[in-house]
Copies of this chain bind each other. A is one copy, B any other.
Amino acid sequence: MNRSLEDYLKNIYSIQPISGRVTTSLLADKLNISAAAVSEMVSKLSGKGYIKNIPYKGFELTKKGEAIAINLVRKHRIWEVFLLKHLNYPWDKVHSEAENLEHSSSDELILRLDKFLDYPKFDPHGHPIPDKEGNISPDKTIPAADLKSGDTAVIKQVSDENPEVLIYLSKAGLKLNDEIKVIEKINFDNSLSIHFKSGNIFLSEKLAKNIFVRKK
């Protein structure tokens, strides 16, 4: 297992829940490489038993592949907690730094770091942290983009892949566990006008798709 293979598995894992079986082009897009390169690596990963591939149809992780992906997610999220809480890293920068650290830390290191952090349950963006056996609490959130006018909800997660989203939310003063109420959903562009304790703000559809909430 090297960094490249690990990145494939991790990204397959992150696409899977959204689109069921993963396709070559979807993964190529996510990894920003050619479909041809993905196609080759998919055969390789399949040969090693990390994924189950049906040529021309798509592929999905095996238990073995999923275990590796979840372990990486665990390492990533534990590092994020450390960076934010102990090194005072800003919200929007922990993701890219953890992206490197996750591939360079042994299971023992993560076990010790987890203990040092007192076994956090969520990362700074609200994502659950898998335990060392790979158990992860199921995601019950929905994108804020799915809310309707008048809905009340609590912000539970924020996508960490686009620092701009995090920067915008910080500036607006929106935090995890804040309660929001949809004043109006504009059907023309699917944008939302929302109210929360520090005032009103506007969320574009794209932004609202990166914020995950639990309805009240």
Contact = CB atoms under 8 A, between A and B. Distances in A.
Most interface-central of A88, A97, A103 (chain B CB within 10 A): A97
A104 B86 CA distance: 18
Interface stretch (A60-68, A108-116, A162-170): A108-116
Interface string A102-125: 011110110011011000000000
B83 A116 contact: no
A102 B133 CA distance: 27
Contact of A104 (B89, B101, B113): B101
A100 interface: yes
Contact of A116 (B86, B97, B101, B106): B86
Interface in A129-156: none
Contacts of A104: 100-101, 103-104
Contact of A97 (B83, B87, B89, B109): B109
Q: How many copies does the complex hold?
A: 2
Nearest to A109: B97
B113 A87 contact: yes
B105 A101 contact: yes
Contacts of A83: 109
A190 to B, nearest CB: 37
A206 B115 CA distance: 38
A125 B42 CA distance: 45
Contacts of A86: 116
A55 B116 CA distance: 51
Interface of A: 83, 86-89, 97, 100-101, 103-106, 108-109, 112-113, 115-116
6 contacts: A87-B112, A87-B116, A88-B112, A89-B109, A101-B105, A103-B104
Given A87-B109, A87-B116, 19 more contacts: A86-B116, A87-B112, A87-B113, A87-B115, A88-B112, A89-B109, A89-B112, A97-B105, A97-B106, A97-B108, A97-B109, A100-B104, A100-B105, A100-B106, A101-B101, A101-B104, A101-B105, A103-B104, A104-B104
